[in-house]
Structure 1
Amino acid sequence: MTAFPSLYDALALIAIGGLAGFINVLSAGGSMLTLPLLMFLGLPAQVANGTNRVSIVFQSLSAVGNFRRAGASQVGLSLRLAVPSVIGSLLGVWLALQVSDALFEAVLVTVMAASALMMLLPQPQLETRPLTRERLTPLVYLAMFAIGIYGGFIQVGVGVLFIVVLYRLLKIDLAQVNVFKVFIILIYTLPALALFLYHDQVRWSYGLLLAVGSMSGAWLAVRVNMGPRGALWVRWLTLAVIGAIIVRLVVG
């Protein structure tokens, strides 16, 4: 592995990063594309995992900034939701060190299948009132903590859980849910990236090229999300991602 990717590899990082950024902002699962790419280009698994966080941070920053400029910003409420997720993730990391890879996959398939069923349930009666902190009940905070545990434990598909749980518990439309999701994932990822940096598990040249593509994909996804059919895009793309994750795990 060289310190800097070749021109061909750089173009692949930007292109796949763009697709992953679009998928991650509208739904989840873009890391299923970027992590294998980084490993294919020669990065060890842990270094690929750390380097991928660079892209996630920048695409999340891009999405949060574009949502804010579009008038869809809920910083205060998003921070409240992010705190229990970050705390839960610390417990999840500890749990991940205690179990086998086989249990990882079993938990992931189970959670993704349950998420698909929840997405296919009839749409809840959505609230028309503005979302305020009074509607963030203890159950909502507990759910954010639980998702944080899952994210620290496995990480793959964690955005799906944020979408499903916030949609069902807060009863806001999926386009609004995505505004919260990208901000929470930004806060959630920063400590992880810092930890990988501390252990020298990040290759900036690869991560920044991936980030160039992912920020472009995030920019496009925000515009789709804010469009008149944004919620429909989120619903069906999320179901497609869940199906892809399950198939990938079952067929190996």
Structure 2
Amino acid sequence: MEVTFEILTILFFVAGLAGFIDAMAGGGGLLTLPALLAVGVPPTQALATNKLQGTFGSFSATLYFVRRGIVSLKEMRLAIACTFVGSAIGAKLVQYIDAGVLTSLIPLLLLGISLYFLFAPQVDEERGTPKLSESMFAFTVGTGVGFYDGFFGPGTGSIFTICFVAIAQLSIINATAKTKVLNFTSNIAALLFFIFAGLPVWELGLVMAIGGFIGARFGAKVVISKGKKFIRPLVVVMSMIMAIKLLLQQHPEWLAFL
């Protein structure tokens, strides 16, 4: 494919918007991955390039939350380690295993996430005793969702957020902040394997990374200042959009009825 200034400009702004959305509710890949495919990047390289740019965006949001004391990396070290290992395993196995099973299950999971956030009571502060210990949460959620992100990916941020809210009993703002830490961890683990395979298109990925970094910084600021107002509806909307998009990809014949 020929890389032009117009393509770079479009991808820069798409990544900026995606970084902004992703910092608050996840789902930024719903914008960036189709954009890469639309400009002619082959699917495998598009996936790797998307991880490259997404890593910068999640790093930007993570850095913002850490510097402001919303999250402590020391307290999350076990969850970070488990997420890294899970994502690395997923990124390795995806080269050998058909992702069809996960592809069919994830829309249902995303719809479940949407319905939970839509009907669950409002959460302003931590609600009490977590349903799992920190170590068990790290081993199960960290490893499991990390594996999913390395193996497949869509909706990872939303899944982490719902787990922090429903299982760890965190407020929506703290859940979103911790989600960004683990999302960055899973991104960087998967990216390393893609780099070893020589898959990312660096010119596109780095331009998008700049846009994503800037967008994620603004998104992180909105989480802290107006998080309770915006995060909840964004999680619902992005989860439903991703679920519908994946279902239509699996069942294109449904488009005839729309």
Whole-angstrom distance in 1 between the partners of 2:32 and 2:136: 35
CA deviation map 1:3-36 (0-9, x unaligned): xx31111110111001110111111111111111
| Residue 35 of structure 2, aligned match among 25, 34, 37 | 37
Return closer, same or farther for 1:115/1:56 CA change in 2, 3 Å cut-off.
Answer: same
Say if 2:102 and 2:152, in contact at 8 Å, map to a contact too: yes
Q: How does 1:146-185 map to 2 (within 5 A)?
A: 146-185=144-183
| Residue 55 of structure 1, aligned match among 50, 53, 56 | 53
Return closer, same or farther for 1:199/1:99 CA change in 2, 3 Å cut-off.
Answer: closer
Whole-angstrom distance in 2 between the partners of 1:153 and 1:208: 23
CA RMSD of aligned residues (A): 2.5
TM-score in terms of structure 2 length:
0.86
Return closer, same or farther for 1:168/1:105 CA change in 2, 3 Å cut-off.
Answer: same
Stretch deviating more after TM superposition (160-169 or 143-152): 143-152
Q: How does 1:12-91 map to 2 (within 5 A)?
A: 12-91=10-89
Say if 1:140 and 1:169, in contact at 8 Å, map to a contact too: no
Whole-angstrom distance in 2 between the partners of 1:248 and 1:186: 24
- 1:197 Cα offset (Å): 1.1
Residue type matched to 1:203 in 2? Answer: V
Whole-angstrom distance in 2 between the partners of 1:64 and 1:148: 16
Whole-angstrom distance in 1 between the partners of 2:243 and 2:127: 34
Unpaired stretches in structure 2, ≥5 consecutive residues: 250-258
Q: How does 1:88-99 map to 2 (within 5 A)?
A: 88-93=86-91, 94=93, 97-99=96-98
Say if 1:79 and 1:184, in contact at 8 Å, map to a contact too: no
SS of residue paired to 1:170? coil
- 1:44 Cα offset (Å): 0.9
Say if 1:21 and 1:216, in contact at 8 Å, map to a contact too: yes
Stretch deviating more after TM superposition (110-119 or 155-164): 110-119
1:203 partnered with 2:190: no
Aligned to 2:106: 108
Say if 2:84 and 2:186, in contact at 8 Å, map to a contact too: yes
Say if 1:85 and 1:148, in contact at 8 Å, map to a contact too: yes
Whole-angstrom distance in 1 between the partners of 2:80 and 2:135: 14
Stretch deviating more after TM superposition (194-203 or 115-124): 115-124
Say if 1:163 and 1:177, in contact at 8 Å, map to a contact too: yes
Percent of aligned positions with the same letter in both sequences?
23
Aligned to 1:237: 234
CA deviation map 1:134-160 (0-9, x unaligned): 951524532222222322332111111
Return closer, same or farther for 1:124/1:70 CA change in 2, 3 Å cut-off.
Answer: closer
- How many correspondences in the alignment? 246
Unpaired stretches in structure 1, ≥5 consecutive residues: none
Return closer, same or farther for 1:8/1:172 CA change in 2, 3 Å cut-off.
Answer: same
- 1:214 Cα offset (Å): 0.6
